[in-house]
Amino acid sequence: MLTVSNLAVTVNDQPVLRGLSLRVPAGEVHALMGPNGAGKSTLTKVIAGHPAYTVSGGSVMLDDVDLLALEPEARAHAGVFIGFQYPVEVPGVKNSDFLRLALNAKRKAAGQTELTAAQFAPLLREKMAALQLDETFAERFLNAGFSGGQKKRNEILQMAVLEPRLAILDETDSGLDIDALRIVADGINAYRSPERAIVLITHYQRLLDLVRPDRVHVLVQGRIVTSGGPELAARLEREGYDWLLNAPPEPSTPAP
Amino acid sequence: MSAPENPWRVARDAARTRADALGLPTTALEDWRQVRVAALSTAIPAATPIDDLALKAAIAQWRLPDLPLAVLVNGVLQPALSDAPAWVRPLSALPAVERDALLTRWLTALPACDVVGECWSLADCAGGLHLTPTADAPSAAAPAVQILALSTGGSHGCRIVITVPRAVAAQIVVQHVALAATPARTCVTVEATVADGATLTLDELVRGADDARQLLTTTRATLGRDARCHWATATCGGALVRQRVLIELNGANAEADLSATALLSDARQAHVFTRVLHRVGHTRSRQLIKTASAERSLAGFDGVVTIAVGADGSDAEQQNHNLLLSPNARAETRPQLDIHADEVQAKHGATVGRLDAEQQWYMRARGLSVAQADALLLRGFLNESLARFGTDAARAIAVELLP
């Protein structure tokens, strides 16, 4: 599914990712953890094609598709979805209008017929119900005036509607209360399938208690310094990152 | 014994004399500093004759559904093509006493009038309208009419007098439609008196052949106690579209809500010029002007809110926000507050900027193309002012301006 190889990225000529490698097979959930400033959000934005980041080396492949060669919208059409840490607010644009346009753009790229508003409405209602979102959510302007938690739930709603093959969720658990976290986790678990892959970027064990990861990776100073099973997240929860920051870096190799 | 002079001709001649004395506006005049005034120097060919068939086709194309219709062709009411209620009359149908009072007022005001468009609106006025909206019965729907003001070219003026009686809520939609692609000039002055407890909803749409059009409008409204005036306009601009709105809040709890939307391209320009006077306290005004300008177009806003001495408790807001969609597009903004009372709420704001790159990228990351993202962002930006149209029919048309 996703294969990141020796990815090097700079922002304003400053290196942020320094030879990062990561492999996430289809059907698996991987957690990506690391201290602030390690480069986690940078990785998500590079995979999505943000123009502020310069890739100076390496590759990002989604199966046999070279994502770095594609425009951002083509990456979305190929099946990439980023649940952003700070979703932007767009006053004046209705959530439902935006979602229908986004879904139709993807359907059109796949050679499928586009959905009319009447065809889209029941689909959206079904997805919103699964996330226990009020129906007025669809008519509200995109993220405008939303609480932090509402924005994160809206990102999960978008994921549920767009049904990407690869979802990278950047601190989706931040800003969520206990009940909302459980609802979002249920949404993520419902999305799991043998054909899809998920990367959860998080600082906390609590999300990983609800969405059990197959692998956990720790990103420090722009590269993966260690990987392991769910027990690695538990250790980080107990001991923090000091034991990793003080240890010599492991050779960066693609995770098995 | 010589025949008495036609009073309309006297008024028109006086207005022509005043307009000639004023001459064409230049950017040396403060009120015209932002305007590309060269457009007014364009030679205006005579109006193109239009046959009934073409006229009916134009009416079918432009009329709004579900609203009675008054058709003006070059400022003259066409009763045979209209189905307007009885309270819509040509000025020529006014009783002599009312006519004389009106003309006397206009003639008295002329020497102090320094707005050439207003002078032209009378000098070239061949018809005009008088509206006194009344409901057929107390339980009847609010009186409403659409005025389809068709221009077939040439220079013409029009004066529209609206008197909204006490406690009546009237809805009036004015569509300024240019049919000719040749340079044409239309000057319209609307005078509205909104009595105590009355509401005037006045929606304006500027449609049709845009590039050669000159449209100069003045809308002047005086509001009594508990009166409301909602004015909204939408335009794609023209060689010169300039809409002046002058509001006087003369009674406590009077309220004015003004909004304008412009989506400009090519070398078109559109200007909104507002003057809102809170003459007494506990009055409220809201203004929202939003524009988006592409290519070499120009959007202008010049607004002053004046809160008079003693008008304490007034509440005013004035917002002007402009998007520039290309490097050569321009937006000029002059929001101004002139406050002479102590206890008031007044705020204003103005922005000129480009589409937000982060918002665009967010949408691209969800699969929208650059063009789709920009169109959606533009729609989102302008939706706020378009939502302020008071009539559903006008709002639906205004939204069609959007990409």
Q: Give me the interface pTM, i.e. the ipTM.
A: 0.93
B371–chain A nearest CA distance, Å: 11
Q: What is the pLDDT of residues A134-148, one digit of tens each?
A: 888 899 999 998 988
B359–chain A nearest CA distance, Å: 6
Residue range B350-375: average pLDDT? 96
Q: What is the pLDDT of residues A157-197, one digit of tens each?
A: 999 999 999 999 999 988 888 888 998 899 899 999 999 99
- The token duo for B35 is 């305007």
Task: Say if strands B345-353 and A223-228 run parallel, antiparallel, or are unpaired.
Answer: unpaired
Q: What is the pLDDT of residues B270-300, one digit of tens each?
A: 999 999 999 999 999 999 999 999 999 999 9
**Is A251 an 8 Å CB contact of chain B?**
no
Chain A residues within 8 A of B382 when measuring between CB atoms: 92
**Residue A102 φ/ψ, nearest 5 degrees:** -65, -45
**pTM, rounded to two decimals:** 0.88
How long, in residues, is chain B? 403
Considering only alpha carbons, which residue of chain B is nearest residue A76?
B367
Considering only alpha carbons, which residue of chain A is nearest residue B355?
A90
Q: b/e map of B174-198 (b: 16 or more CB within 10 Å)?
A: bbbbbbbebbbbbbbbbbbbbbbbb
Q: What is the pLDDT of residues B175-211, one digit of tens each?
A: 999 988 889 999 999 999 999 999 999 999 998 767 8
Q: What is the pLDDT of residues A82-137, one digit of tens each?
A: 999 899 999 999 999 999 999 999 999 999 999 999 999 999 999 999 888 888 88
Specify the DSSP class assigned to residue A89.
P
Of A50, A71, A76, the CB nearest to B366: A76
Q: Which residues contact B108 (CB under 8 A, 6 or more apart)?
A: none
Contact B364 A73 (CB under 8 A): yes
Q: Which of A66, A72, A70, A79 is nearest to A106 (CA)?
A: A79
Among B263, B355, B364, which would you mutate to test the A interface (most chain A Cβ atoms within 10 Å of its Cβ)? Answer: B364
Q: Counting one residue from A and one from B, how many pairs have CB atoms under 8 Å apart? A: 72
Contact A102 B367 (CB under 8 A): yes
Q: What is the DSSP string of B195-211?
A: -TT-EEEEEEEEEE--T
Question: Quick one: pLDDT at residue A250?
Answer: 56
For residue B92, CA distances in Å to A178, B123, B130 come to: 73, 15, 9
For residue A67, CA distances in Å to A78, B31, B367 come to: 8, 55, 14
Specify the DSSP class assigned to residue A241.
S
Instruction: Give, for A179, the enclosing helix (H) or strand (E).
Output: helix A178-191
Is the separation of the CB atoms in B256 and B226 below 8 Å?
Answer: no
A205–chain B nearest CA distance, Å: 28
Chain B residues within 8 A of A71 when measuring between CB atoms: 364
Q: What is the DSSP string of B220-251?
A: EEEE-TT-EEEEEEEE--BSEEEEEEEEEE-S
Of B359, B361, B383, the CB nearest to A72: B361
Beta strand extents in B11-140 (DSSP E only): 69-73, 76-77, 88-90, 129-131
B323–chain A nearest CA distance, Å: 14
pLDDT at B79 over 60: yes
For residue A147, CA distances in Å to A87, A142, A152, A191 come to: 11, 12, 9, 24
Contact B376 A49 (CB under 8 A): no
Of A49, A102, A141, the CB nearest to B368: A102
Specify the DSSP class assigned to residue B41.
G
- The token duo for B322 is 């402009």
Average pLDDT, chain B: 94
Considering only alpha carbons, which residue of chain A is nearest residue B369?
A73
Specify the DSSP class assigned to residue B125.
B
- The token duo for A29 is 């959930």
Question: Quick one: pLDDT at residue B4?
Answer: 65
Q: How far apart are CA B148 and CA B71, in angstroms?
A: 5
DSSP three-state, residue A97: helix
Residue range B348-367: average pLDDT? 96
Model confidence at B139, in pLDDT bands (50, 70, 90)?
A: low
pLDDT at B383 over 80: yes
Contact A93 B377 (CB under 8 A): yes
Is the separation of the CB atoms in A226 and A33 below 8 Å?
Answer: no
Question: Quick one: pLDDT at residue A204?
Answer: 86
pLDDT at B1 over 60: no
Contact B367 A162 (CB under 8 A): yes
Is the separation of the CB atoms in A33 and A217 below 8 Å?
Answer: yes
Q: What is the pLDDT of residues B211-251, one digit of tens each?
A: 889 999 999 999 999 999 999 999 999 999 999 999 999 99
Question: Quick one: pLDDT at residue B141?
Answer: 77
Tokens 């586009």 appear where?
A114
Considering only alpha carbons, which residue of chain B is nearest residue A107?
B367
Contact A87 B359 (CB under 8 A): no
Contact B365 A75 (CB under 8 A): yes
Q: Which of B233, B235, B70 is nearest to B158 (CA)?
A: B70
Is the separation of the CB atoms in A156 and A187 below 8 Å?
Answer: yes
